[in-house]
Amino acid sequence: MSHILDGPAPGARQAQKQKTRQALLDAALRLLEEQSLSSLGLREVTRAAGVAPTAFYRHFRDTADLGVALVEEALGSLHTTLVATLAATGDGEERITAAVDLIAAYVRAYPAHARFIAREQHGGVKRVREAIGAQLTLFAQEVAAQFAKEPEAAGWSEDDLLMLARMYVDHMVMTASALLETDDDGPVTDTARRQLRLVGLGRLHWLDAPALDEPVRGN
Amino acid sequence: MSHILDGPAPGARQAQKQKTRQALLDAALRLLEEQSLSSLGLREVTRAAGVAPTAFYRHFRDTADLGVALVEEALGSLHTTLVATLAATGDGEERITAAVDLIAAYVRAYPAHARFIAREQHGGVKRVREAIGAQLTLFAQEVAAQFAKEPEAAGWSEDDLLMLARMYVDHMVMTASALLETDDDGPVTDTARRQLRLVGLGRLHWLDAPALDEPVRGN
DNA sequence: AATCTCGGAGAACAGTTGTTAACTGCATGG
DNA sequence: CCATGCAGTTAACAACTGTTCTCCGAGATT
């Protein structure tokens, strides 16, 4: 263990603090596999983490606050990975496989994190819902920005690109949730790939359609 | 009112029972607008319904049981409406508008029910999750069956039709959830229509693609 | 008219919750 | 080297939870 980077200025004291903080996050995440955040008790978490109830307040105001921290932990590191995956693959079937594999790998590596996001995306705690929504919107913007760089995006409005990107992002969350409720990934990833293929086909022919800016309102 | 099927005896007594049962369901649904089912307390519900805590047991074993009843109340009557809407409209833009309008009307008419479904679809109570999942699968099967009757489905495998239908159903739930978090339906329904248009375009060109039963595994 | 059924009320239980206050010990900065 | 800051502990609180048992009174049954 090197002491060079964590010792000098910061303090080995904060290391211990973040250690218990992480213990609280881990304990909470484990408990959240079988319940929702809005029913997660402060004492429940501290008990599972092996610390006194009052220690909780040194790190979080309440369980909603802890939930927001969990959102960052679950989604924060995914931005670079996602964008890198999209940038590294071309269009079409190759990219579809890469995207589905990415999410399947994530769900298998961090099932509790994935479950937490899928569950609390529409959950009962407003601040957490908003935090997840903001992250997903950010994902969509990043995906749209990546799309914009590619030749296939010629003629697309910014709004339509964002609409397309949101569809991909929302589909990822749906796929993750579906993966969590099965033990055989095969059928789920297969369906996910076919659905992405369908959207990709629609994308290819999007500009074939006549102008729909002001569709017939006769009805 | 027919008395033949209700049971052994008609009874104005059972009317009062179902009245309090409905009071419990209504009270629960109201409380669930700001929390998840897994944190919904039995006493909380009875207090809001204006009955004694012990009265709860005359109707439900626990709050999870009540949740399953809410799923039926929220989704049960929607099957006929959905199928009728699909059957009454042709393909293309007309059907897209009809479908989006249907879900927007539902969300506006029964916001608490819609919120409950969106929230508990991935929520912390297994039995309720399963009940919602079963209903949505049923929806998908009904939609797929309707699709199968139409000329556009020629050449489609049963599996692909179900995949397409699931996509529509899941997209409906997503749209409902998005509508619940905004007060201006315009942008949301607009995006939803464009996304459906995209999927519809993909559907039209689905058979153009080469056989993908055994895609290249070189990777 | 007498009896039975059963939805609902009331009281009490042991256990849990979030939050406050005052405390201990140790790493840290002067 | 000592005083300060602060992560974590202990104790206590009023409030709340799900559940059981007992009882009541008004339909329903005969």
Q: Are B202 and A201 in contact (CB under 8 A)?
A: yes
A119: containing domain:
73-206
Q: What is the pLDDT of residues A71-85, one digit of tens each?
A: 999 999 999 999 999
How many angstroms is C1' of C4 away from CA of B12? 17
How many angstroms is C1' of C6 away from CA of B61? 17
In a domain, B219, yes or no: no
Average pLDDT over residues B52-59: 98
Q: Is the pLDDT of residue B94 over 70?
A: yes
**Neighbour tally for B88: CB within 10 Å:** 10
In a domain, A21, yes or no: yes
**Total domain count for chain A?**
2
Average pLDDT over residues B73-96: 93
Distances in Å between the Cα of B196 and the Cα atoms of A186, B115, B219 are 26, 22, 33
How many angstroms is C1' of C17 away from CA of A42? 9
In a domain, B7, yes or no: no
pLDDT at B210: 66
Q: Are B71 and B79 in contact (CB under 8 A)?
A: no
Percent of chain B's residues with pLDDT above 70 = 90
* Nearest-CB residue to B38 (from A36, A195, A203): A36
Same domain, B46 and B90: no
Q: What is the pLDDT of residues A119-154, one digit of tens each?
A: 999 999 999 999 999 999 999 999 999 999 999 899
Strand C, nucleotides covered by protein (CB < 7 Å): 6-12, 16-22, 27-29
pLDDT at A132: 98
* Nearest-CB residue to A39 (from B38, B160, B204): B38
Average pLDDT over residues B141-160: 94
Average pLDDT over residues B10-16: 83
Nearest-CA distance from B8 to chain A in Å? 41
Nucleotide nearest to B19 (CA to C1'): C7
Nucleotide nearest to B16 (CA to C1'): C7
Under an 8 A CB cutoff, do B133 and A163 touch?
no
Structure tokens at A8: 């000098």
Predicted confidence band of residue B215 (pLDDT cuts 50, 70, 90):
very low
Task: Tell how far CA A159 is from the center of its chain.
Answer: 22
In a domain, B66, yes or no: no
The residue whose two tokens read 């020629």 is B154
We report the CATH number of the domain holding residue A112 as 1.10.357.10
Same domain, B147 and B181: yes
Between B92 and A212, the higher pLDDT residue: B92
Q: Cα separation of B215 and B97, whole Å?
A: 35
In a domain, B213, yes or no: no
pLDDT at A68: 98
Structure tokens at A143: 């995906």
Same domain, A86 and A56: no
In a domain, B2, yes or no: no
We report the CATH number of the domain holding residue A43 as 1.10.10.60
Predicted confidence band of residue B219 (pLDDT cuts 50, 70, 90):
very low
Same domain, A83 and A157: yes
Nucleotide nearest to A55 (CA to C1'): D8
Under an 8 A CB cutoff, do B119 and A123 touch?
yes
Same domain, B30 and B115: no
CB pairs under 8 A between A and B: 113
How many angstroms is C1' of D16 away from CA of A115? 30
Contacts of B34 in chain A (CB under 8 A): 124
Chain A residue with minimum CA distance to B124: A35
Contacts of A202 in chain B (CB under 8 A): 197-203, 205
Q: Which residue's alpha carbon is at the shortest distance from the C1' of D18?
A: B42
Q: Name B67's Cβ contacts closer than 8 Å, sequence gap at least 6.
A: B37, B40, B120, B125, B127, B128, B131
Average pLDDT over residues B57-78: 97
How many angstroms is C1' of D22 away from CA of A46? 39
Nearest-CA distance from A119 to chain B in Å? 5
Same domain, B91 and B167: yes
The residue whose two tokens read 């629609």 is A202
Same domain, A95 and A182: yes
Under an 8 A CB cutoff, do B122 and A124 touch?
no
pLDDT at B211: 57
Same domain, A113 and A151: yes
Structure tokens at B110: 């029964």
For residue B115, say whether its CB is under 7 Å from any atom of strand C.
Answer: no
Distances in Å between the Cα of A119 and the Cα atoms of A35, A138, B164 are 9, 19, 24
Strand D, nucleotides covered by protein (CB < 7 Å): 6-12, 16-22, 27-29
Same domain, A30 and A81: no
Per-10-residue mean pLDDT of chain A, 219 residues long, equals 40 89 98 98 98 98 98 96 93 93 97 98 98 98 95 93 96 97 95 96 87 46
Average pLDDT over residues B72-101: 94
Same domain, B30 and B97: no
Same domain, A79 and A119: yes
Nucleotide nearest to A43 (CA to C1'): C17
Same domain, A40 and A86: no
In a domain, B8, yes or no: no
Q: Which residue intervals of A89-157 are DSSP H helices?
A: 93-109, 111-120, 126-148
* Nearest-CB residue to B39 (from A93, A124, A198): A124
In a domain, B212, yes or no: no
